[in-house]
Structure 1
Amino acid sequence: MNDRLTARDRRRAIVDMAWTDGRAGVGQLAAHFGVTESTIRRDLALLTSQGQLARTYGGAMAHGLVYEASLGQRAREGFRQKQAIAAWAAEQIGPGETVLLDAGTTTGQLARELREREQLTVVTIGLTVLNELADADGVDVLCLGGRLRHISQGLVGPFAEAALERVTADRAFLGADAVTVENGICEANLEQTRLKEMMMTRAEQVYVLADASKLGQRPFHAWARMPATWTLVTDDGAPPAEVERFRAAGVEVIVTGTKAAT
């Protein structure tokens, strides 16, 4: 791609690609235009704020085309950012604790960080978490059960909710399709938001693990309300203005570095 392309022309081309291909991914766009992923994220944030695109997992789509990405699609996006977020989250967990882990790719990374732990109990609804901890002999793993949502590989519904009422935890680590100051966690499905709200009531401390692309976005219309006190854990690609909006609302925000330069 011509490295003399102006930022304005690049953003116009990004919109064209989103409408032509249905979706424009951060990594794909960075390679196509020969710029960093951080530059593309800033472009997408601006285009979203102008109403030209709708943000989705690791990229953006033309308005009216937003869909729920599969777990496999999400796993390919923002891998280093999720690693950094998961590494920080793992450091917060002490011996003898019981933790609730949501379904998702970032919580799956967190489970991987916990594989060598001893005297730890993990309660989860996520198949990614179960797979990571299947042979972790030092970790006591409890699966809440429920109906499997194939697209997210998470368990939801009344069976999961009934089991959750029987346990408490020191910490809950939740994923999100998106998260906003005003409305909390955004998801594609109301069963997911209900279960997340219940998980938050069963833990002493609540963390939302959300990479920078999810902050301030509204891809769907199902929301989980947040407790009075919670912590947002994101990465250093998060727009400073968005981070400050959360902090101004009383949310503790942790901004992690990435393990490799983008």
Structure 2
Amino acid sequence: MSKAVVRREEIGRLASSGGLASVEELSRAFGVTPSTIRRDLAHLTESGVLARTYGGAIALPTHAEAPLSDRRSDAHSAKRAIGLWAAAQVRVGQSVLLDAGTTTAELAYALRETSPLRVATIGLTPLEAISGATGVEVVCLGGHLRDISQGFEGPITEMALEQLSFDAVFLGCDGVTAERGICEASIAQTRLKELMVRSSVVTYVLAHAAKLGSAPFNAWVRMPSSWTLVTDEAATDAQVASFERRGVRVIVVDATGSEIPHLSA
């Protein structure tokens, strides 16, 4: 095991035990330069191990990100319903962008009968769901594959996004709050989502009820001035109202993917 790997593991353990240290303190403790520590912190932050503070690092005070394989069966009926409603918003001839994830995979599957259509995605799961559909042009943006989410990220993905435009983007999330928007496991993911939003005319966030108000990590997406949250009928009126008070359009769907009224509407 390399010295860098050992050092980064030690920094992670220090932070997870509640420790907080400046770059200078870490530099002295490990006998390396401050620039080396900054690279370590950047690596650990991008990996979702740490959340940065000014001049130091703290551990994320939450559970580790779960692999996509562990999340496939979570709220499956709700994800399917959300995907059905989202697919109904897509018009023939449009160009849409799908985030990685299991909910966007349900949307991708529901789009198989809409053609002609161009569907671009950064995720292997939506790619698998839409692949082979007649009359659908499928674009995979590529890049560095994040095994845990089966999604692409990094400079290649970002470069592709900067050269394309879409009628709508459909985003997944690890959590979403009314105050701060989408919560993700790393800054690399939040930057990517911001580029996805910037490349699209309309933004939808697909999140089943358990994700509303959830903030499992410390990286946040800066949301556009106008966006739509799509959730399922398990969402409470209080949850929905918290978003609507912030000017977010909220769509609640039943098990068939049909929009249903809610008290705060």
TM-score by length of 2: 0.73
Are the aligned partners of 1:103 and 1:128 in contact in 2 as well (CA < 8 Å)? yes
Q: Tell me whether 1:255 sits opposite 2:257 in the alignment.
A: no
Q: Quote the Cα distance in structure 2 between the aligned partners of 1:222 and 1:199.
A: 16
* Equivalence for 1:185: 182
Are the aligned partners of 1:80 and 1:259 in contact in 2 as well (CA < 8 Å)? no
Q: Quote the Cα distance in structure 2 between the aligned partners of 1:187 and 1:145.
A: 20
C-alpha displacement of 1:137 = 2.7
C-alpha displacement of 1:205 = 0.5
* Equivalence for 2:12: none
* Equivalence for 2:98: 101
For residues 198-228 of structure 1, give each alpha carbon's deviation from its aligned partner in whole angstroms, at most 9, with x where no partner exists. Answer: 1111111100000000011110011101000
For residues 134-162 of structure 1, give each alpha carbon's deviation from its aligned partner in whole angstroms, at most 9, with x where no partner exists. Answer: 21131101111110000100000110000
Give the 3-state SS of the residue equivalent to 1:216 in structure 2. Answer: coil
For residues 51-91 of structure 1, give each alpha carbon's deviation from its aligned partner in whole angstroms, at most 9, with x where no partner exists. Answer: xxxxxxxxxxxx95611111111111100000110000000
Q: Quick one: which amino acid aligns to residue 245 of structure 1? A: S
Q: Quote the Cα distance in structure 1 between the aligned partners of 2:112 and 2:256.
A: 19
For residues 155-190 of structure 1, give each alpha carbon's deviation from its aligned partner in whole angstroms, at most 9, with x where no partner exists. Answer: 001100000011100000000000011111001111
Query: 1:1-262 alignment to 2 at 5 Å?
Result: 66-259=63-256
Give the 3-state SS of the residue equivalent to 1:88 in structure 2. Answer: helix
Q: Quote the Cα distance in structure 2 between the aligned partners of 1:102 and 1:64.
A: 26
Are the aligned partners of 1:116 and 1:136 in contact in 2 as well (CA < 8 Å)? yes
Q: Quote the Cα distance in structure 2 between the aligned partners of 1:145 and 1:128.
A: 13
Give the 3-state SS of the residue equivalent to 2:213 in structure 1. Answer: coil
Q: Quote the Cα distance in structure 1 between the aligned partners of 2:136 and 2:147.
A: 25
Q: Give the 4+ runs in structure 1 shifted more than 4 A.
A: none
Q: Quick one: which amino acid aligns to residue 110 of structure 1? A: L
Identity among equivalent pairs (%): 53
Are the aligned partners of 1:210 and 1:233 in contact in 2 as well (CA < 8 Å)? yes
CA RMSD, Structure 1 to Structure 2 (Å): 1.4
For residues 28-57 of structure 1, give each alpha carbon's deviation from its aligned partner in whole angstroms, at most 9, with x where no partner exists. Answer: xxxxxxxxxxxxxxxxxxxxxxxxxxxxxx
Q: Quote the Cα distance in structure 2 between the aligned partners of 1:91 and 1:116.
A: 11
C-alpha displacement of 1:118 = 1.2
Give the 3-state SS of the residue equivalent to 2:223 in structure 1. Answer: coil
Q: Quote the Cα distance in structure 2 between the aligned partners of 1:119 and 1:135.
A: 13
Structure 1 alignment gaps of length 5 or more: 1-62
Q: Quote the Cα distance in structure 2 between the aligned partners of 1:183 and 1:69.
A: 22
C-alpha displacement of 1:259 = 4.0
Q: Quote the Cα distance in structure 1 between the aligned partners of 2:256 and 2:168.
A: 25
Alignment size in residue pairs? 198
Larger Cα-atom Rg: 2
Q: Quote the Cα distance in structure 2 between the aligned partners of 1:65 and 1:197.
A: 23
Q: Quote the Cα distance in structure 1 between the aligned partners of 2:127 and 2:242.
A: 35
For residues 105-138 of structure 1, give each alpha carbon's deviation from its aligned partner in whole angstroms, at most 9, with x where no partner exists. Answer: 0000000001122110011101011111221131
Q: Quote the Cα distance in structure 2 between the aligned partners of 1:251 and 1:79.
A: 25
Q: Quick one: which amino acid aligns to residue 165 of structure 1? A: E
Q: Quick one: which amino acid aligns to residue 178 of structure 2? A: V
Structure 2 alignment gaps of length 5 or more: 1-59, 258-265
Q: Quote the Cα distance in structure 1 between the aligned partners of 2:61 and 2:139.
A: 39
Q: Quote the Cα distance in structure 2 between the aligned partners of 1:159 and 1:117.
A: 29
